[in-house]
Structure 1
Amino acid sequence: MRISELSRRSGVPVASIKYYLREGLLPAGRAMGATLAEYGEEHVQRLRLIRALTTLGGLSIAAAREVLAEIDQPHDPLAMLGVIHYALRTPADATEATGDGELTERVDGLVDAMEWDISEASPHRRALAASLQELGRLGVDFGVDDLLPYARLAAAVARLDLDQLDGIEDRMVLAERAAILTLLLEPVLALLRRLAQEGESRRRTGAAAAPDTAY
């Protein structure tokens, strides 16, 4: 397909496609002449992944380029999820909690209790410690025992996530699915939790559901 068709198929403007080509995020098409190139389905997939990383994930072009370079390496397929996770911004400022040894030990204790194999360099360790620090400032102090029920639920969700990656052999399709699970499913999970909280609140109070009232 020509670049105009690639734009139509991917939903990415021609100008953006040319920019991604110049920046090395998108591989060049097959040369058909001095100024013409032909693109394939792999370019459509790559563009969808680029947009997921930059638009939904908030990555800079430089960071997206690094992630794509890692994805192109012959990693174990499931390692792609880790590559994407580590590149994305964490929900809390991880630098705030790096000096708090007690919080770090608390996170380590949770990881050990769950028997999770987590890299010592994982930004999520520090981000969780930072989030716990913020909760503590508001008077909500979550210890390991308080976090364990939530961690078990998270582990069940993680198993569901990885089940969706099983059997996908195409690297770009796998990377796109991993990005979607990370970027698009998180707000869905947050909304499901809110719906569940509302439903449970009504169940406990015996309130009848009414479309024009909250809780």
Structure 2
Amino acid sequence: MKISELSRTTGVPVASIKYFRRQGLLPAGRATAATLAEYGDEHVQRVRLIKALTTLGGLSIAATRDVLAAVDGAEGPDGTLKAISYALPVPVAQAPVEDADQEAEAESAAAADVADLVAAMDWRVAAASPHVQGLRAALRELRRLDAGYQPDRLVAYAELAHAVAGLDLERAAGFDDSPALAEQAVIVLALSGPVLELLRRLAQEDRVRRRMELVGDGDDLL
């Protein structure tokens, strides 16, 4: 197919495709003339993956280049999933540091909480995982702001997350080739967070409404 057909198939403007090619993200097509080239299905998958990484994943061109290199060098589907998971931005809740001593104490406590949780769940995760670091930061803020914070209750949430992760991997199991699997992984990982949060809030709204109905409160308070 010509570059114009590649553009129509992927929904990516010709100018963007040429930019991806100049940045080394997209392999060149097969030259058919001095200024013409043919593109194949592998280019379609590559452009779709680049689009997913830059739009859904919010990655810069430089970060996208690194992810593509990792995907290209990944050993099997699991390596591809790891490359995508580590590349996408990690949600971190962190407030400005006001007291260095308190910050160090909170960091130590949060690190212990994460270590205890990982041990309780028997999770095989790297200590340097960006997700471990992100969870430490989030739990540090919970300790600082939430007077009712109970580390022992994290396991219940972790068990739910473990089940969700199983569903995510089931969705990706049908994609054997790295480009298609990587694109699906970006979609799942980038969109599952907002979807899960909205489902949680809908469930909370339902429970609150039911409690209000039991005590005879109005239905329009939420």
Same-fold call, TM > 0.5? Answer: yes
Q: Tell me which residue corresponds to 1:114.
A: 121
Alpha-carbon deviation of 1:74?
A: 4.0
Alpha-carbon deviation of 1:80?
A: 1.6
Counterpart contact for 2:56–2:187, Cα < 8 Å: no
- Whole-Å separation in 1 of the counterparts to 2:84 and 2:147: 31
- Whole-Å separation in 2 of the counterparts to 1:114 and 1:59: 31
- Whole-Å separation in 1 of the counterparts to 2:29 and 2:9: 15
Shift in alpha-carbon separation, 1:139–1:86, aligned structure 2, 3 A:
same
Q: Tell me which residue corresponds to 1:60.
A: 60
Alpha-carbon deviation of 1:93?
A: 6.1
Within 5 Å, which residues of 2 pair with 1:71-150?
A: 71-92=71-92, 99=104, 100-140=107-147, 142-150=149-157
- Whole-Å separation in 2 of the counterparts to 1:94 and 1:69: 31
- Whole-Å separation in 2 of the counterparts to 1:2 and 1:14: 10
Moved over 3 A (4+): 93-99, 140-144
Counterpart contact for 1:52–1:179, Cα < 8 Å: yes
| Alignment root-mean-square deviation, CA | 2.3
- Whole-Å separation in 1 of the counterparts to 2:39 and 2:96: 46
- Whole-Å separation in 2 of the counterparts to 1:213 and 1:30: 63
Counterpart contact for 2:20–2:26, Cα < 8 Å: yes
Within 5 Å, which residues of 2 pair with 1:1-215?
A: 1-92=1-92, 99=104, 100-140=107-147, 142-206=149-213, 213-215=220-222
Alpha-carbon deviation of 1:125?
A: 0.9
Q: What letter is aligned with 1:157?
A: V
Q: What letter is aligned with 1:91?
A: P
Q: Secondary structure at the match of 1:77?
A: helix
- Whole-Å separation in 2 of the counterparts to 1:142 and 1:79: 36
Alpha-carbon deviation of 1:96?
A: 8.0
Q: What letter is aligned with 1:158?
A: A
- Whole-Å separation in 1 of the counterparts to 2:150 and 2:124: 20
Q: Tell me which residue corresponds to 2:100.
A: none
Q: What letter is aligned with 1:124?
A: H
Shift in alpha-carbon separation, 1:38–1:187, aligned structure 2, 3 A:
same
Unaligned runs of 5+ in 2: 98-102
Unaligned runs of 5+ in 1: none
Q: What letter is aligned with 2:18?
A: K
Larger radius of gyration: 2
Counterpart contact for 1:132–1:141, Cα < 8 Å: no
Shift in alpha-carbon separation, 1:74–1:56, aligned structure 2, 3 A:
closer
Q: What letter is aligned with 2:164?
A: V
Alpha-carbon deviation of 1:126?
A: 1.2
Alpha-carbon deviation of 1:142?
A: 3.4
